[in-house]
Structure 1
Amino acid sequence: MSLRRKSREYALQMLFQWEMGKQDPSRVEDGFWSNARAQKSTREFANQLFENAAARVAELDPIISTHARNWRIERMSAIDRAILRLAISELRTMSTPPKVVLNEAVELAKKFSSAEAASFINGILDAAMKSFGEKNAD
């Protein structure tokens, strides 16, 4: 497994814990890393992904809602919300190729949620990526 994929898994776990516990992100990180072991570069990338997503929930949730037709965000499972937030945050704030972000999010869904969730997440992210492309073309 690549270090980046492992970082995304760690970031997802922290984002999920953060939503469930409503703690300060730094407390979530401290608690998470007191139990998890990872290389420094893996930890740094995981923290960056987590912090970016946690800081932008108010910006990310409307994007998710726009592309999750007939689904209210609060009806989605917490893990699916976390995967979507993580992926859209990475798309918006980092230089990772969009296809990589999409693939990684689908793999996270398969591992931490379900095959049905993977398809659901794929559809939402694909629609979001297309809308980002249209906005960037202006």
Structure 2
Amino acid sequence: MSQTQQAIYAAKRKARRFAVQGIYEWQMSQNPVHEIEARTRADNAMHKVDLNYYHELLTRVIAEREVLDELLKSVLDRELTALDGVELATLRLGAYELRDHAEIPYRVVLDEAIELAKHFGGADSHKYINGVLDRLAQTLRQAEKQA
């Protein structure tokens, strides 16, 4: 992998980290998305973050949460309300990427979600996130999984 590709990958990873934090904040506070984004940009060093991807993830996941939640409900073993806030934010982000970003291999989506859960979530939440998103990938990325 070239240095340019590594930098792009790292910038997207950072965008996901800030996005999951913003989604979590929105879930807890219902603060306007533009305020969450503005505060995040003002309070953090964002020069190595893919800002367009961060904006897309934050705004689209929140705007499309009802549709994403329906996708998740089909593969969850519990109610959405029983999920920890970090788990829900991470699952919503992962579901969005699986559904809307076919250019990102499903294994990368899962790996990124697992890393977010390890960093922000509870002790074993990464295992749950992996299982849920893997089941969702069976539906959304069936051809890719079979290949």
TM over 0.5: yes
- C-alpha distance in 2 between matches for 1:101 and 1:43: 18
Report the more deviating stretch, 34-43 or 86-95: 34-43
- C-alpha distance in 1 between matches for 2:19 and 2:118: 16
Q: 2:75 aligns with which of 43, 64, 67?
A: 67
Higher helix share: 1
| 1:26 Cα offset (Å) | 1.1
| 1:100 Cα offset (Å) | 0.6
Q: 1:28 matched to which residue of 2?
A: 36
Deviations 1:7-51 (A, max 9, x none): 110111111111111122112111221111212752221111111
1:1-138 aligned within 5 A: 2-39=10-47, 42-69=50-77, 71-94=78-101, 95-134=103-142
Question: Unaligned stretches of 5+ in structure 2?
Answer: 1-8
What TM-score do you get using the length of structure 1 for normalisation? 0.89
- Secondary structure of 1:67's aligned partner: coil
Question: Unaligned stretches of 5+ in structure 1?
Answer: none
Q: Which amino acid aligns with 1:58?
A: E
- C-alpha distance in 1 between matches for 2:107 and 2:63: 23
- Secondary structure of 2:87's aligned partner: helix
Q: How many residue pairs get matched?
A: 135
Percent same amino acid at aligned positions? Answer: 27
Report the more deviating stretch, 52-61 or 38-47: 38-47
- Secondary structure of 1:89's aligned partner: helix
Deviations 1:48-69 (A, max 9, x none): 1111211110101111121112
RMSD, matched Cα: 1.9
| 1:133 Cα offset (Å) | 3.2
- Secondary structure of 2:68's aligned partner: helix
